[in-house]
Amino acid sequence: MLTAMVTPFTADGAVDYAGVQRLATYLVDEQRNDGLIVSGTTGESPTTSDQEKERILRAVLEAVGDRATIVAGAGSNDTPHSVELAKTAERAGAHGLLVVTPYYNKPPQEGLYRHFAAVADATGLPVMLYDIPGRSGVPIATNTLIRLAQHERIVAVKDAKGDLFAGSQVMMATELAFYSGDDLLNLAWLSVGASGFVSVVGHVVGAELAKMIGLYRNGEVERALAVHRQLVPVVDGIMMRAGGAIMVKAALDMVGVPTGPVRLPLVAADEKQIAELRACLVAGGVKLTDA
């Protein structure tokens, strides 16, 4: 169970490093996360500098690195930049790397292969590929994933492509560990062999998601399904409206773990979205402290 954590900011938009440590501690100690993704998309990585990313990573490692696996986002659409991000993360002490598909420039599959291989070659850290064509514009093809699996440090996939059959083919052909990168499909991914979740809603229901994984692993499928159904309103409220970082920060305010504003071009949830989110969280059994 991992959560792709948001980045707390102060009211004037600076990174709140003390808030980063408070949030990381909350996610590990109270929300039962086994690991955290730092400086992923939910962490607003497009609008944080490389220097901020390094300080955020070091803050998280200092707070919880002794009891959780800390995976640093090192993806970009510029291969040398990704390589440098990976090297910096290794020097800072990261336990692994998350490398997203290069976005906007829409490389061919051979370009994807060489990009991911170059980042994996750059450090001694294990690499989780992030397949999210809805944001990157390009899926990682099944054959490319199978080819990449031959690299000793490419060990996992965060899947937000949503093709359970293609994922099944890759899992049958390789030893890649798949993680659901789409909270809508968490239980579905477990059913075809996924290892766990890289969640967004785990900010507020991480403990319940960890419980779902445990139940499913123990063969208690009906009870796991009950947890899934309990959390449907939460996933609806956070993931189906203004988007991850915006709604997660609003949700964290409601549970008493404020993380400040978002940075432009993101904007805060409006009153209607806040009201809808509140209703969804209550329906999903989340205890609110601002009521």
Those residues with Cβ within 8 angstroms of residue 15's Cβ, 6 or more apart along the chain or in another chain: 7, 8, 9, 48, 52, 55, 56
Could you give phi then psi for residue 143, rounded to 5 degrees?
-65, -35
Torsion over CA: 124, 61, 9, 275 (sign) = positive
Helical (H) or strand (E) element with 127:
strand 127-131
Helical (H) or strand (E) element with 158:
strand 154-159
Half-sphere exposure of 43 (CA within 13 A, CB side): 33
Assigned token pair, 85:
């991000």
Those residues with Cβ within 8 angstroms of residue 43's Cβ, 6 or more apart along the chain or in another chain: 4, 5, 6, 7, 37, 56, 73, 245
Assigned token pair, 241:
């409206």
Helical (H) or strand (E) element with 35:
strand 35-38
Q: How many CB atoms lie within 10 A of CB 278?
A: 18
Helical (H) or strand (E) element with 72:
strand 69-73
Assigned token pair, 35:
């690991």
Assigned token pair, 109:
């599959």
- Give ∠ CA 165-77-104 in degrees, rounded to 5: 70
Catalytic (active-site) positions: 130, 158
d(CA 138, CA 153): 22
DSSP alpha helix (H) spans, 10-77: 17-29, 50-64
